[in-house]
A and B are shown apart, each in its own frame.
Chain A
Amino acid sequence: MAYMIAFHWGWLLAALVLGFCMGWVAVVTRARSVSKRWMIVLSVLAAALVAAAVLQVVPGRFGYWLDLLLLMFVPYLIGCAIGTQLRAWVVMRAMARR
């Protein structure tokens, strides 16, 4: 893990920034939400991919690419969460001032 972070820190930072932007926009966008049903499907898919990565069942390059994908999702989600929280706070303060 430490090796992967050290080797791909640039890409992970990019994912974090991307996530932050996405989280910032998510509070005010009119984009369609993911349905609850899709959310479950995606959660199961994510759990399956994590399980495959942890159990190291995917061989060679495909295994490495899976690890990289999952690893990039982590800063993306963290970025989203930070971006959303900050934007929500900014919006709340603006509304209160009005």
Chain B
Amino acid sequence: MRGFVRWSSKWWPGVVPLVLFWAIAAWNDTTAVEADLTAKAAAAVKGIVLDKVKIAADGRDIDFAAEAFSEEGRHGALTAVAGAPGVRLVIDDTRLVPEAKPFVWSAQRDVAKITLSGNAPLPAVKGKLMDIARDQVKGIEISDQMGLARGAPVNFEDAAALLIGQIGKLKDGKVTISDSSVSLSGMARDLGGREAVAAALKNLPQGFSVAANDVKAPPYIFQANKDPVAVTLTLSGYVPDENVHAIILGSSSRKFFSEKVVDNLKTSVGAPPGFVNAVIPALGVLSRLSTGTLVMSDREVKISGDALYDAAAIQIRAGLTKDFPREWQVTADISVRPAAAPVDASVCQQLFSDLLSKTKIRFLTGRATLDSDSTGLLDHLVETALRCPNATIEIAGHTDSDGEDVANQSLSERRAQAVLDYFVKAGLPADRFTAIGYGSTKPVASNDTDDGKAQNRRIEFLVR
């Protein structure tokens, strides 16, 4: 043993080449060890959700910088790096992702580009929202300007996905989530897009509320053109549903008794409130014009054309404010058609008969109140009466045989008188007219059928 100790004191010369070996090994292997440990540390945190990960090795020590989305995630990442084989020390440069207050996310659409910006809670959510955007609007550039932050409201992902769905319905605009309130602005791509967006917003996840929905839609257009040469009434634009479509067509055919109604209407949602209540009086005005155009754009109504006589133009202008729903803007550019040449009494009679052969003056059932659908006809009758200023005219009222004779007599007289009153209001002298009621004494058809009765309920004009 003593010999071994003595010999061991002579081992020192080998230390010189050993140190040389060490120097060569250190020179040769340091960068390789660092690269290997960097890769191993990166692999260790691969499955952990982190942002801005930076891993650098200094010898066997790992300088680890990252932003974690929770304290548990941060600790887990540190433990994983420290546990990577070969790692000696971990220099902790990690921190939590900053918390956003308020948590704001937005998606903006310009015509050919969508930009997602603001905050997303996790990289996976960010990626998913980008995927949803790509699915929604194919062939459009999607730009990702989202950052990552903590503090997202519960169900953020669902709400953002729903809003990305809405941006596809916009031509341009912006949707924003700020904490749990949602706001939208912009222009809808299609008519009815605004309503579709509003309907979709009802499915927002619980806890979210709509702070502002300023999505605008293209104007809701309805047009009618009365062409006296082609004798047509052309309807175009949109109606909200088939029911309203039928109402408008029915009203048009009654009001425009001599014109053929050309129906080019399409059905679409997005009609302004009170649409029917505005269309019907607007068509009523148009029916009183010899030629004219009606254009409705959202709640703006523009009517232009020629009235048949001066008083009609005055009546039309006066009726604009009271006949239309409130909040509708009505402008009318009404001129008066030049008076037609005077004719003698027999021609006048023929003109009355021609007009009344196409349709007849309507009253409310059982009453002597003129139906508004007959205003156009009445204006034509007034215009005819104006053409024979020297003739006296008997306005004869008739009823069918239903009910008491006395009541029918009275009703026929009052109806004839109502027509006479209309003529007087139109500026015709009252002494040219006499209103006579015949009750049911002069039927022109059998009172046994509904059709016959309808023919018997009538107003006739006798020119003398």
* Minimum CB distance partner of A87 in chain B: B7
A-B interface contact total, Cβ < 8 Å? 104
B35 CB, nearest partner CB in chain A, Å:
12
Q: What size tier do the contact residues of chain A reach?
A: 35 or more
Could you tell me if B7 and A72 are in contact, using CB atoms closer than 8 angstroms?
Answer: no
A56 within 8 A of B: yes
- Among the listed A8, A15, A31, A81, which residue makes an inter-chain contact with B10, where contact means beta carbons less than 8 Å apart? A31
Q: Chain B's nearest CB lies how many Å from the CB of A84?
A: 5
Q: Out of B14, B19, B58, B86, which one reaches A4, CB within 8 Å? A: B86
Closest residue of chain B to A72, judged by CB? B22
CB-CB under 8 A from A19, the residues of chain B are 11, 14, 18
B-side contacts of A81, CB under 8 Å: 8
Residue B190 interfacial (CB < 8 Å): no
Select B6's contact among A33, A72, A77, beta carbons within 8 Å.
A33
Specify which of A2, A15, A64 is in contact with B88 (CB 8 Å cutoff): A64
Q: Does A49 contact B (CB under 8 A)?
A: no
Name B's interface SS.
helix
A21 and B25 in contact, given A59-B61, A63-B59 (Cβ under 8 angstroms): no
B14 pairs with A85, CB closer than 8 A:
no
Q: Give bound CA distance, A11 to B175, whole Å.
A: 64
Q: Are B59 and A65 in contact (CB under 8 A)?
A: yes
Contacting A at CB under 8 A, from B1-20, are: 3-4, 6-15, 17-19
A26 at the interface (CB under 8 A from B): yes
Q: Which of B7, B18, B30 contacts A64 (CB 8 A)?
A: B30
* Nearest CB of A to B14, in Å: 3
A23 to B4, CA, bound (A): 10
Taking a contact as CB atoms closer than 8 A, the residue among B3, B7, B30 that contacts A61 in the complex is B30
Verify A76–B88 contact, CB threshold 8 A: no
CB distance A23 to B11 under 8 Å?
yes
Residues in A neighbouring B42, C-beta threshold 8 A:
none
Contact of B58 among A2, A34, A59, A72 (CB under 8 A): A59
Residues 30 to 62 of chain B near chain A (Cβ within 8 Å): 30, 33, 36, 58-61
* Contact status A26-B8, CB under 8 Å: yes
A59-B58, A76-B14, A76-B18 are known; give 8 further A-B pairs, CB within 8 A.
Answer: A7-B33, A14-B21, A23-B11, A29-B10, A34-B9, A60-B59, A63-B59, A63-B60
Q: Residues of A with Cβ closer than 8 Å to B?
A: 2-4, 7-8, 11, 14-15, 18-19, 21-23, 26-27, 29, 31-34, 39, 56, 59-65, 67-69, 72-73, 76-77, 80-81, 84-85, 88
* Between-chain CB contacts (< 8 Å), 24 pairs: A3-B85, A4-B86, A7-B29, A7-B36, A15-B18, A18-B14, A18-B18, A19-B18, A21-B14, A23-B11, A34-B9, A34-B10, A39-B9, A56-B89, A59-B59, A63-B60, A64-B33, A65-B59, A68-B29, A72-B22, A76-B18, A77-B11, A84-B11, A88-B7
